[in-house]
C-alpha cells in the first residue's frame, strides 16, 4: 500500500479558494502514485486562524467536500481530506475530518474530540466530537484522530479496540513543539502496534510557524518517511500485514490490564 501525505503550506497570502484548488490538483497528481492520500488539519483557514473559523465554516457537504470528492474520484484514491471548520445544522462549529472512497463517496466524518487552546481559540470556538471513527479500506482499517488528540493515548486505545490498524492524524502542529509531534507519533505507533500517518502543514499563519515534518511510522516505531519543514508531498510504501505480524510476534497488547483502580478513591 502506498500513502501520500500532502503537507500543504498554509500562508495568509493565499485565499481559501486558491488553496482549495491547489489541494485538489495535488490530490489529482497522486493518481497511480498512492492508494491513500492524506491532507492536514484545517488547511483551508489554518488551524490557528481562529478569527476565520466562523466566516470560513461550511456544512459537511460544502465547497471543500465538493472539491475533495471530485479530486478523490478523478485520482481514484482513498482520500483523507484533512479537516474543515464545520458549521453544523444547529449552528455550532466543529473541527471535522472527511474521508472519501475512490469513487468520491463520503466514507466517514470525524469531529475532533480534544479541542486545543485551553481557555481560548478552538477550545472555546468549537464543539467537541464524542465518537470514535474507524474506516475499513481493502487491507487495513483506519483510525481517525486530529492534531491535539495525539496527546491522548486513551483515544488511540479506543480506536485499536475498534479494529484500527493504521492511525491517521491530520494536524496543524506548531514548530515550537515539533519534538513532541515526532515523539508522540512514534509513541502512538509503538504502544498500539499500528502504522501512524501524521500529516502536518507547512508555512506560517496567524503568526504561528508550522512544524511540517509529516511522518509515517511503522508498528515497530521505525520512521518510514519524514518530511522537512516546507511544502512537500511525502510518499511511503507500507505493508499493512506488518500490524498483525508485530502483534503476534511481540504480543504486548494482550498484556493490558484494564480497569485499574486509583488507591484511596
Ligand X SMILES: O=C(O)CCC(=O)C(=O)O
CB of 151 to ligand X, least distance (A): 5
End-to-end alpha-carbon separation of the chain, Å? 48
> Segment near ligand X (CB under 6 A), from 66-74, 146-154, 216-224, 235-243?
146-154
Query: What HEC string does 56-78 produce?
Result: HCECCCCHHHHHHHHHHHHHCCE
- Grid cell at residue 118: 485551553
Cβ-based nearer residue to ligand X, 54 or 163: 54
94 binds ligand X (CB under 6 A): no
Is residue 189 within 8 A of residue 218, CB to CB? The reply is: yes
The C-alpha cell 503550506 sits at: 9
Task: Please identify every residue annotated as catalytic.
Answer: 41, 112, 147
The Cα 241–Cα 245 span in angstroms is 6
Q: b/e per residue, 152-163, with b = 16+ CB within 10 A?
A: eeebbbbbbeee
Stretch that binds ligand X, among 3-11, 12-20, 27-35, 169-177 (CB under 6 A): 169-177
126/194 with CB nearer ligand X: 126
| Least gap, CB of 47 to ligand X (angstroms) | 4
By the rule CB under 6 A, 129 interacts with ligand X: no
Long-range contacts from 60-64, C-beta under 8 angstroms, 24+ separation: 60/86, 60/96, 60/98, 60/106, 60/109, 62/87, 63/20, 64/20, 64/98
Q: Which of 43, 156, 173, 195 binds ligand X (CB under 6 A)?
A: 173
Restricting to residues 178-217, name those near ligand X by CB under 6 A: 180
Give backbone dihedrals phi and psi of 252, rounded to 5 degrees, phi first.
-65, -30
Looking only at residues 18 through 77 of this chain, which bind ligand X when binding is defined by CB under 6 A? Answer: 47
Give the residue, chosen from 43, 65, 78, 148, that forms a contact with ligand X under the rule CB under 6 A: 148
Instruction: Choose the binding region for ligand X from 66-74, 130-138, 143-151, 186-194 (rule: CB under 6 A).
Output: 143-151
C-beta atoms surrounding 18 within 10 Å: 10
Binding residue for ligand X (CB under 6 A) from 18, 124, 177, 252?
177
Per the CB < 8 A criterion, the answer to whether 213 and 232 are in contact is no
> 223 pairs with which residues across the strands?
217
Which CB sits closer to ligand X, 47 or 71?
A: 47
Question: Taking CB under 6 A as the rule, does residue 120 contact ligand X?
Answer: no
According to the binding rule CB under 6 A, does residue 81 interact with ligand X?
A: no
Q: For the chain, give the number of residues.
A: 265
Number of residues near ligand X (by CB under 6 A)? 10
Stretch that binds ligand X, among 7-15, 49-57, 131-139, 166-174 (CB under 6 A): 166-174
* Binds ligand X by CB under 6 A, chosen from 151, 163, 239, 250: 151
**Binding region for ligand X (CB under 6 A):** 47, 116, 147-148, 151, 172-174, 177, 180
Amino acid at each position: 500500500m502506498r500513502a501520500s501525505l500532502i503537507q500543504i503550506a498554509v500562508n495568509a497570502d493565499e485565499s481559501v479558494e486558491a488553496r482549495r484548488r491547489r489541494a485538489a490538483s495535488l490530490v489529482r497528481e497522486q493518481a497511480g502514485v498512492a492508494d491513500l492520500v492524506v491532507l492536514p488539519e484545517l488547511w483551508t483557514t489554518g488551524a490557528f486562524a481562529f478569527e476565520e473559523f466562523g466566516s470560513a465554516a461550511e456544512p459537511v457537504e460544502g465547497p471543500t467536500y465538493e472539491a475533495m470528492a471530485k479530486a478523490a474520484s478523478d485520482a481514484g484514491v482513498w482520500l483523507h481530506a484533512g479537516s474543515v471548520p464545520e458549521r453544523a445544522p444547529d449552528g455550532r462549529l466543529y473541527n471535522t475530518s472527511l474521508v472519501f472512497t475512490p469513487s468520491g463517496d463520503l466514507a466517514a466524518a470525524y469531529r475532533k474530540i480534544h479541542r486545543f487552546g485551553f481557555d481560548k481559540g478552538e477550545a472555546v470556538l468549537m464543539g467537541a466530537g464524542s465518537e470514535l471513527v474507524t474506516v475499513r479500506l481493502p487491507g487495513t482499517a483506519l483510525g481517525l484522530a486530529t492534531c491535539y488528540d495525539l496527546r491522548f493515548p486513551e483515544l488511540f486505545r479506543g480506536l485499536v479496540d475498534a479494529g484500527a490498524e493504521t492511525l491517521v492524524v491530520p494536524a496543524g502542529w506548531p514548530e515550537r513543539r515539533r519534538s513532541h509531534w515526532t515523539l508522540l507519533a512514534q509513541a502512538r505507533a509503538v504502544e498500539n502496534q499500528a502504522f501512524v500517518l501524521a500529516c502536518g502543514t507547512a508555512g506560517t499563519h496567524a503568526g504561528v510557524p508550522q512544524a511540517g515534518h509529516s511522518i509515517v511510522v511503522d508498528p515497530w516505531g521505525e520512521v518510514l518517511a519524514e518530511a522537512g519543514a516546507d511544502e512537500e508531498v511525502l510518499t511511503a510504501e507500507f505493508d499493512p500485514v506488518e500490524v498483525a505480524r508485530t502483534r503476534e510476534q511481540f504480543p504486548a497488547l494482550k498484556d493490558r490490564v484494564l480497569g485499574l483502580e486509583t488507591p484511596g478513591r
